[in-house]
Structure 1
Amino acid sequence: MDTSSTKPIEFFIRKTQRNDVNELLALLNRIIEAGGTTALEKPLNKGEFIEWFLEADILESTVCAIDRETGEPLGFQIASHYGDIPADWVDIGTFVKPGLHKSGIGSALFKATLANLKGKGLVAINATIRADNTGGRAYYTSRGFKDYKVLKAIPLSDGTPVDRICKRFDLIRV
């Protein structure tokens, strides 16, 4: 009988910084290469990562989770004016190191994102999730996001059609 216990991971949340880029890029590219949980299908290079997730004019919030013991980034979340959404909405993306889902990282990232969005005059947050990403859909539902639209049969790069579920979180209550 295995009596060993797994120590819960201890982390803190802070604004994403330039010195996080290499490790967060590697984390994101591992997620992309595994497939099935992000609309991104092609690994990014460092310049693309910085442009999209750190320095874009459309960013409203970019936060990351850092392991207290090792200093390693464990995940990150962005909120930006990306895509075809109303001007007073933001789109959200959440990326957590594989194996650390349900560790509290996603919840802590979302709490920090909400704090960063407070007072910015925004109405809602959009999350567009692949229909086959049951974990991502469950994560956003557990945060209080509600389905409001389905984008039917959006083709992947190989032509495979996959629906996208659009979920909305109203910021009026924040």
Structure 2
Amino acid sequence: MSRVLREIIAHTGRERPNDEAFVARQYITNPASIRCTVAIDDGGVAVGFQSLIRAEAGNRYDVPAGWGIIGTHISPRAHRQGVGSALFRSSREAAEEAGLEKIDAYIGADNPSGIGYYEAMGFRTYRAQEGIVQKVYTVG
């Protein structure tokens, strides 16, 4: 998963935390986690992952408590191969099982592929501020 983040950074130039400790803390052992799904290629290498957590009061994204917060990270070498759609099917199922009503996606305004991906999955813009677009998906 850390490698996927580094591949994205190399491709986009957008810096983000990517070390193994961050990945473990943010995506694997996060107590708010509902599900983190990892896509693996035929060679057994991670090519993408998607995390879904439950928003807690006062979260850094200003998402209402009880909503889901989704994060999608797909290696550039796996774009346009159905990885994102497969990941979202798993996250949507987890959201339904967890009883979530809404899922928020917090996307950099300079990330047109991320914005397009979430639009294709059925998310709609509900908030835009300087440099950020927030999209919401209604579960169910």
TM above 0.5, yes or no, is: yes
Q: Deviations over 1:57-83 (max 9, x none)?
A: 01111001111x311111000011353
Structure holding more helix per residue: 2
Distance 2:111 2:36 in 1: 22
2:5 counterpart letter in structure 1: L
SS at match of 1:118: helix
Counterpart residue number, 1:75: 48
2:20 counterpart letter in structure 1: K
- Identity across aligned pairs (percent)? 32
- 1:43, distance to aligned residue in structure 2 (A): 3.7
Q: Deviations over 1:73-96 (max 9, x none)?
A: 110000113532112211111111
SS at match of 2:136: strand
Check if 1:137 corresponds to 2:115.
yes
Counterpart residue number, 1:32: 9
User: Which has the higher Rg, Structure 1 or Structure 2?
Assistant: 1
Q: Deviations over 1:6-32 (max 9, x none)?
A: xxxxxxxxxxxxxxxxxx101112213
Counterpart residue number, 1:45: 19
Residue correspondence of structure 1 range 1-174 to structure 2 within 5 A: 24-35=1-12, 41-67=15-41, 69-80=42-53, 81=55, 83-152=61-130, 163-171=131-139, 173=140
Q: TM-score, normalised by structure 1?
A: 0.72
- 1:45, distance to aligned residue in structure 2 (A): 2.0
2:137 counterpart letter in structure 1: F
Unaligned runs of 5+ in 1: 1-23, 153-162
Unaligned runs of 5+ in 2: none
SS at match of 1:99: helix
Q: TM-score, normalised by structure 2?
A: 0.88
Q: Deviations over 1:107-156 (max 9, x none)?
A: 0000011112223221101011111211111100000000111022xxxx
Q: Does the 8 A contact of 1:77 with 1:113 survive in 2?
A: yes
Q: Does the 8 A contact of 2:11 with 2:76 survive in 1?
A: no
